[in-house]
Structure 1
Amino acid sequence: MPIQLVVFDIAGTTVADHGNINQTFRDAFQAAGLNVLPEDVDKVMGYKKIEAIEIILQQYKQPLLPGHSIESVHADFTNRMVQFYETTPTLEALPFAEKIFSWLNSIGIQVALDTGFTRPVTNAILNRLHWNNHPDIACVVSSDEVPEGRPATYMIQSIMATTGVQDAKKIVKVGDTEVDVLEGRNAGCGIVIAITTGAYTEQQLHSYAPDYIIHSLDELKGIIQPQWQ
């Protein structure tokens, strides 16, 4: 069945993450009186960020400092991330990302991005990379623009409505986390691809049974081209 759309995650999939998201999460928790292990933050990568904070607080079962809440930790995290992406010299697209976007468009396949970030953080990334109104990106959906984030299917449904793609089997989902894989499966995407450039190792990704595991976006051509022809 011909592919009509590829939905990519952002951080760790198409945009480099050098552990900065994990560190920022832990900094926001620490400011609220809770020390969180890096590996526990990695487990909630890809989730809507306020949901990730709720999961961690349920896991640790420790009260925050007086005056702090889930909402305040989330606001602190958001502010820190926006400032980071607006100023860091290390922000960059992952290798082959823009070439793959261009190649997909050249063969008639639309490109969309979805993310666990809120729109302010997403915009900070898009602005710095000049991906706002990018000719090869049909649309971008952030987790705060839909009722629920991953692994729920609302972001992909929103993308389908915008792009006019009616059959999820004609969609390829690409992401670097467990909930990226689950999002693709729950939405009924025809192909679900995990990539090792983000928070999860190849061994970890294997346990979620994506259709393919890749180590570089350049490998997408070998998967998509035979399906497209």
Structure 2
Amino acid sequence: MLHNIKLVVFDLAGTTIYDDGSIALCFQQAMQQFGYTVPVDVINPLMGYKKPQAIQLMLEKYEPDASKITAELVATIHEQFEQNMIDYYEQLPVVQALPNAERVMMALQKAGIKVGLNTGFSRAIADVIIDKLGWMYHGLANYLVASNEVPAGRPHPFMIQRMMEQAGISNPKEVIKIGDTEVDVNEGKAAECLYAIAVTTGAFSREQLLPYTPDFILDDLAELLPILQIEA
């Protein structure tokens, strides 16, 4: 096993679970309900951000009157988005894991490496997703931290640092971060993880990820195992 890794932190949507575009659509609908028409191609690059921050950024782009961009407006739109997402996942018959995600998690567990999940979603949304998947119950994942449980979301390192505290890890070089967006990569770097790894299964293509210089870019999570010298 490589470098005595003790914890691998995975993003959720686009990294370990399939996103068919419904998340961006829920975002678009929430903005539309308050009079803002935001194209999906503007929403997608913001997918990894803490969602109130993403809403703030969209308002700054689409609201010409800066005085209307208040904390109350951001919170109200976020509440609508959160409800849209909870309704979507509760009605979804099955939350679909991305190819090899569960196999990789199981291989890490067998190798004695803890698995953490973090997300730009709120805890309320994340809990619905994880409950449907059963990953915590079945021992595939050990920790879950959502962006509203820490002072600031990605690209700040706080979610990873919270998980390190929970796992009793003090050395970030014993941790790897994996995600599908710019802010996932920068979160791993900010936390000083051994590797900040990107995947092409979500919001960003390989070409879009390259400028952020991840340590590796994976097309399939199964590619992680040989990097860590772990057998499937």
Report the TM range for the smaller structure's normalisation: over 0.9
Matches within 5 A, 1:1-229: 1-62=3-64, 69-89=73-93, 91-225=95-229
What is the rounded CA distance, in whole Å, between the counterparts of 2:101 and 2:60 in structure 1? Answer: 36
**What secondary structure, in the 3-state scheme, does the structure 1 residue paired with 2:137 have?**
coil
Contact 1:173 1:189 in 2 (8 A): yes
CA shift, 1:90, in A, is: 5.4
Aligned residue identity for 1:101:
M
Structure 2 residue matching 1:36: 3-state secondary structure: coil
Question: Could you give the per-residue CA deviations for residues 132-170 of structure 1, whole angstroms, max 9, x where no partner exists?
Answer: 334131110001111100001110110000011111011
Distance (whole Å) between structure 2 residues aligned to residue 193 and residue 56 of structure 1: 27
CA contact (8 A) 1:34 1:62 kept: no
Q: Which amino acid aligns with 1:26?
A: Q
Instruction: Tell me, in whole angstroms, the C-alpha distance in 1 between the residues paired with 2:59 and 2:166.
Output: 35
Letter in structure 1 aligned against 2:49:
Y
Cα pair 2:176 2:193 within 8 Å, conserved = yes
Q: Which amino acid aligns with 1:15?
A: I
Tell me the distance in 2 between the aligned counterparts of 1:188 and 1:139. 19
- CA drift of 1:69 comes to 1.4
Gaps of 5+ in 1: none
Please tell me whether the aligned partners of residues 104 and 110 of structure 1 are also in contact (alpha carbons under 8 angstroms).
yes
| CA root-mean-square deviation | 1.7
Contact 1:171 1:190 in 2 (8 A): yes
**Cα offset for 1:72?**
1.0
Query: Which AA in structure 1 matches 2:81?
Result: F
| Counterpart code for 1:54 | Q
> How far apart are 1:37 and its partner, in Å?
1.1
Counterpart of 1:122, as a letter, is A
Of all paired residues, the percent bearing the same amino acid is 42
Give 3-state SS (helix, strand or coil) of 1:43's partner. helix
TM-score of the aligned structures, taking structure 1 as reference length: 0.94
The residue identity in structure 2 corresponding to 1:131 is W
State the one-letter code of the partner of 1:216.
D
Q: Partners of 2:136 and 2:113 in 1: how far apart?
A: 19
Check conservation: 1:113, 1:137, Cα contact below 8 A: yes
Aligned length in residues: 225
